[in-house]
Structure 1
Amino acid sequence: MAPSAPTHADLAGPLAGRLVSLEPLSAAHVEGLLDAARDGELFTWFPLDLARSGDVLGRWVGDAIAAAQQGREVPFAILDAGSREPLGSTRFLELRLEHLRAEIGWTWVARRAWGTGVNVEAKLLLLARAFERAGLRRVEFKTDAQNARSRGALEALGAQFEGVFRKHMVVRGGTARDSAYYSVIDDDWPTVRARLVERLERAR
């Protein structure tokens, strides 16, 4: 008998860690996220520059909220666990829950949070939600094939490289983007979880 499919609600809701909290993305986060977005050149590889203006970021947040209301995505604000200051954003998207899979993407964190364990803990919280609560079998990640930093982070996570989709997306300026795909499956999760926990311990 096929397993019953999880629902959008199984992926939704706040998540709390030692360094960060993930809250459902809302308009109340826009001002703080704009401050975080302006902390360095973060959006070279994004389809749009979220640091350009509050209007651009506000529309992006509004689109994410609409996608959540339609059950298509599960967007979060990444907050400092102590100060509650917004540090970035991430989400579940490309939900194919009937096939027990989803993607984690649209992830960015303020430059000042790089190397602090913030992104590591956010990934740990999301993957635990996906595999341990929602019962997914596969979580995907994609990035620009030329984005060496993002690809390195995914490989350090323990995600498996699966190949490149050539001319996969049209990005800023009409340029064709090749996308590198990675995944973590349920069989990988115990090893990936242990690796992330170890990295968080080193970040103390």
Structure 2
Amino acid sequence: MGAWSAMSGAGWEAPTLEGTIVRLEQLAPTHADGLWEASRDPRTWRWLSVVQPSTRETFDDWLDDAVAARDNGTEIPLVTVCCKRVVGSTRFLTLRPGHRSVEIGWTWLHPSAWNTGANVEAKLLMLGHAFDVWGCRRVELKTDALNERSRGAMEAMGATFEGIHRKHMLVRGGESRDSAWYSVTEDEWPTVRALLLERLATSRSREARSRGRQT
């Protein structure tokens, strides 16, 4: 793989963000095996823009692309760790420090981490870093317009729907994708943070009840 610098060329340092459920770490060579294992379920790739890598070689190519984007200063890829196990990845994209704007995307999790609060807490950590540390004015999010699960999560956290970009991308080897765009601004961040904290508390309560039934 290429150089594993921890610094974005755009001037924003790759953060390490830690909550009670997940830890978001800077992408490093030590994560390669864990990411490969976490990426094996086809459900993980249903709405991503590339076809699921079927071999370790093609997956390593995907990792190399992530590293190259980081080293070029266009993206900051992070690894999602839960209970000391790699469960997925996410990124800061479209880095625009001059406009104090960034995008959160390329988020994927192994299905075992779905509905655990992992994604909710990851968004809380990343949005908090963008607004409270980097001083962003705007954070963008987008997804396939057909991805009801992702769109529902964005709407539940209070992100503002900004419309559909029709025929926005060619994905997965040639499929045409309409993209649904959402955003959170600095003025909306306190409300969004409260909603995310509420959803996180609900997830923790549900997990606690589940553990109680198993004992």
The two structures share one fold, judged by TM-score above 0.5 = yes
- What CA deviation, in whole Å up to 9, does each residue of 1:112-149 have, x standing for no partner? 11000000000000000000000000000111111111
The residue type equivalent to 1:113 in the other structure is A
The residue type equivalent to 1:76 in the other structure is L
| 87 and 35 in structure 1: CA distance in 2 versus 1, 3 angstrom threshold | same
Long gaps (5+) in structure 1: 1-6
Matches within 5 A, 1:1-204: 8-80=10-82, 82=83, 84-204=84-204
Query: Would the aligned equivalents of 1:40 and 1:111 in 2 still touch at CA under 8 Å?
Result: no
Q: Which is worse superposed, 43-52 or 102-111?
A: 43-52
- Could you tell me how far apart the structure 2 residues matched to 1:117 and 1:9 are? 30
User: Secondary structure of 1:65's partner?
Assistant: helix
User: Secondary structure of 2:119's partner?
Assistant: helix
The root-mean-square deviation of aligned C-alpha atoms, in Å, is 1.5
Aligned sequence identity (%): 51
Pairs aligned (count): 196
Q: Segments of 4+ in structure 1 off by > 4 A? A: none
User: Secondary structure of 2:92's partner?
Assistant: strand
Query: Would the aligned equivalents of 1:26 and 1:65 in 2 still touch at CA under 8 Å?
Result: no
Q: Which is worse superposed, 151-160 or 54-63?
A: 54-63
Paired residue for 2:210? none
- Could you tell me how far apart the structure 1 residues matched to 2:175 and 2:53 are? 21
- Could you tell me how far apart the structure 2 residues matched to 1:126 and 1:150 are? 16
- Could you tell me how far apart the structure 1 residues matched to 2:29 and 2:108 are? 17
- Could you tell me how far apart the structure 2 residues matched to 1:185 and 1:142 are? 15
Long gaps (5+) in structure 2: 1-8, 205-215
The residue type equivalent to 2:109 in the other structure is V
Query: Would the aligned equivalents of 1:27 and 1:62 in 2 still touch at CA under 8 Å?
Result: no
Query: Would the aligned equivalents of 2:96 and 2:102 in 1 still touch at CA under 8 Å?
Result: yes
